[in-house]
Amino acid sequence: MPKAPKVPQFPLNGLVGIEKPSGPTSMSIIDSIKPLLCESKFFLPPNTNNHTRADAKKMMKRKGGLKVGQGGTLDPLADGVLVLGIGRGTKHLGQFLECTKSYTTVGLLGSCTTSFDSEGEIISTAPYAHVTRETIEGVLDRFRGNIYQMPPIYSALKMDGKPLYEYARENKPLPRAIDPRAVTVSELVLEEFTPAQVVEGDGGHTYNPPVKHLSEEEVATYRKLTELTKTAASGQAEGLMDIPAADAEDKAKEDAQPGSSTVTQVKPPTFKLRMTVSSGTYVRSIVHDIGLAIGSAAHVVKLTRTRQGQFTLEPESTESTREEDFFVYDEDGPDKFDFGERKGGVISWDVMERAIKQRKAEIEEEHENEQKIAQGDVDEEELLASKPDNGKWRPKEWEREFFARFVSKD
């Protein structure tokens, strides 16, 4: 006889996956949804009645209030799976920092940047007319299995609280070695290759390289930093931190090739990769290093985390979000509910965005109603009677979606 699913007790504690959009920071995502959680009956202590928005605000601020954390941040540029821990679920987030992760990423050829992605400034440009799908596929074996890699040293690393580029500017040696990071790439597949876009809107891509370039002085600082890092690092660092040379010969090749941004304003080629990697892998470094390996340059223009542990974007969860499937009510709200087996799907950000907008509209409506009551324009009981179900609690869309995918943890 199968074991009955566990029925969680209030307040709920556990894990849930959110589909983070590109743009905001991971922390801002938490900040934007935490008010919803603090106002939801699912996260209130037992026997909590007449919980107001003011009470929820105090709950967010006070020490020991509702804890919400994330199991591995995503850069603002990145989108995809962001695992959140709620309440005692935050104690289980460590496993997601160390787990295997899957990504898809799009690299744009022709330029490398300080951050190895489109958020940085261009350090150097390189030719790309010679690059084909076969060119890229021909170097992928170098990046499969156990490899060493360096992060974008100009923008990502500090030593003794000081950015590394400051040491280069001051012409000082690095205090200690920076060893390349050993990581494992268990899957690396080229999914798409889009050739240079000859005519705007010809079916190519919509990505553009950054507008801002480093000055000659800043490029010299970067090259000096590269040499400092190689000097301080172990032998495994050789070849991991190069950038294309910006000499006259390369510049002439770039200007002569079809699709050169300096001549025809044509967009360079892109390539899309799918990969599964160990914890600590810099996806941006893989794209950057592939650009060098094919005799060009590349940086990330799109990065999506498709899987983190049990939470995945695809395939989408088929869990029901009908409230009658897992809610049983008493007069004040949910009395009990059955989570069943969780499939690890994530909640679309569209759902959470609608909830945030709905909450804002509700607050504005409440303020208007308070003014009407204070002025004697309307009776409070009349307002309550005009609400659906006479103001009784019903789960909102985000709550149904949330708990269809919620993983309860003690």
Residue 50: exposure state from Cβ atoms within 10 A (0-12, 13-18, ≥19): exposed
Alpha carbons 394 and 360: distance in angstroms, whole number: 18
Neighbours of 142 (CB within 10 A): 12
Alpha carbons 406 and 17: distance in angstroms, whole number: 8
Strands 79-86 and 298-308: parallel
Alpha carbons 27 and 74: distance in angstroms, whole number: 9
Alpha carbons 48 and 41: distance in angstroms, whole number: 8
Kind and range of the H or E run holding 11: none
Alpha carbons 146 and 236: distance in angstroms, whole number: 13
In the residue annotation, 75 being an active-site residue is answered as yes
Alpha carbons 82 and 74: distance in angstroms, whole number: 7
Catalytic residue selected from 31, 55, 75, 289:
75
Give the catalytic positions in this structure. 75
